[in-house]
Structure 1
Amino acid sequence: MISNGTKFGVVLAFVASMPAIASAHTGVGDTSGFLHGISHPICGVDHILAMVMVGLFAYQLGGRALWLIPTMFVLMMALGGALGASSAYLPHAELGIALSVIVLGGIVALKVKAPVGIATGVVGCFAIFHGYAHGAEMPENASGFAYAAGFMIATALLHATGIAVSFQIEKASERYSRVVMQCAEGIAALAGFGFLTGVF
């Protein structure tokens, strides 16, 4: 029987090996509207890792943070998406995305128990950068509402994935769950440094 921790490690390794790392921000492509919106967040490992980290962080804090942190991220990401779609200038957006992976990965790996207000504020700030990247690459012929609905739903699903992974790890053997979680988040933080330095 394969343990939940092993399954999670395999999934993480698969995600990390995806060749789409550099393709998350390469252009609008042929798809428009809802389908393009829902596909954009899952086309780059930087987005995937950050979204899953949000779910892990929310589960780690528990209580009202379990729904408040993902909700705040989605709402602030929508604001960032509006900024990107309107051609507003947001400096260092790619830097903000890379830092989100590093910071969120580090927070979960170190099991930081931040107050819910501070946690939602930090997550909300990072969400703006992710939303801006999505909005800036919205196809010209796409419906803004359909595109936004797409990337918001995809993001919420990735948050749910992070929460589900946390739940499964917690159900695994106590001897290994903490090690698996910390190793996974450490890898995520290292991936963030890779995005930041241009290694990936």
Structure 2
Amino acid sequence: MSQCLPARSFSHSNSHLWALAIAPIAALAAMTASAHAGHGAVGHGGFVAGLLHPLLGLDHLLAMLAIGLWSVRQQGSLRRFMPLIMLAGMWGGAALAWGGLAVPGVEAGIALSVLLAGVLVATLARLPGALGGVLVAAFMLFHGHAHGSELPAGASLLTYLIGFSLATLAIAYAGKGFGALLQRCETRWVRALGAMIAAVGGAFALG
């Protein structure tokens, strides 16, 4: 049977679940046609700029949502501490940017992280804790470097850091929450969502 728990209202629940799965992708795609559209309009508020930066980049948002979603099916520490692993990778990338150290292929790395995160979700892949943690931290290093490089002129580094850290944690936990919801359902919904995210990542990589 292809239904979510509880068993009642099978067709009605399925249609609602499909709408719930596809709505974020459609809404985000409508917000921006490029990976970083809107970043220049954020302003120089430090905290507000940091808070909005991960939310206004479709690449950042999808990668973090996908990783949060994927983490629900992992085991042990990888599942419990995934938001903190993501945050550590972000901090590492931002520190490199603020230290004046260039990371080659940042945009390509970000696009690849969206693609691979989508693939991990679509294939229901389970990785050993250490491997999964290193992979996610590496993904987030690219995102963190991009955040650090786009610190608005005149903004407070500390408040900007706090802003994008809170946004990162919020997105990661939102992904985990959505993953927990989908875990009650047939895996084809998870696979379909992962495939859509991977397709967007592929479009970024080719763009």
Q: How does the TM-score come out when normalised to structure 1?
A: 0.89
Query: Given the superposition, is the C-alpha separation of residues 189 and 178 from structure 1 closer, same or farther in structure 2, using an over 3 Å criterion?
Result: same
1:195 maps to a residue whose letter is F
Please say if residues 9 and 180 of structure 1, whose CA atoms lie closer than 8 Å, have aligned partners that are also in contact.
Answer: no
Match for residue 198 of structure 2 among 180, 189, 196 = 189
Equivalent residue number for residue 82 of structure 1: 95
Q: How does the TM-score come out when normalised to structure 2?
A: 0.86
Deviates more, 1:17-26 or 1:139-148: 17-26
Equivalent residue number for residue 7 of structure 2: none
Alignment of 1:31-180 (within 5 A): 31-171=44-184, 174=185, 177-180=186-189
Q: Whose radius of gyration is greater, 1 or 2?
A: 2
Partner of 1:60: helix, strand, or coil?
Answer: coil
Q: Deviations over 1:34-67 (max 9, x none)?
A: 1000000011111110000110121111432222
Q: Deviations over 1:82-108 (max 9, x none)?
A: 222233211100011001011111011
Partner of 1:17: helix, strand, or coil?
Answer: helix
Partner of 1:154: helix, strand, or coil?
Answer: helix
Equivalent residue number for residue 26 of structure 2: 13
How far did 1:12 drift? 2.5
Please say if residues 20 and 43 of structure 1, whose CA atoms lie closer than 8 Å, have aligned partners that are also in contact.
Answer: no
Please say if residues 36 and 58 of structure 2, whose CA atoms lie closer than 8 Å, have aligned partners that are also in contact.
Answer: no
Report the identity percentage: 31
Q: Distance in 2 between matches of 1:77 and 1:96?
A: 13
- What RMSD, in angstroms, separates the aligned Cα atoms of the two structures? 1.8
Query: Given the superposition, is the C-alpha separation of residues 124 and 22 from structure 1 closer, same or farther in structure 2, using an over 3 Å criterion?
Result: closer
Q: Distance in 2 between matches of 1:10 and 1:180?
A: 13
Deviates more, 1:10-19 or 1:116-125: 10-19
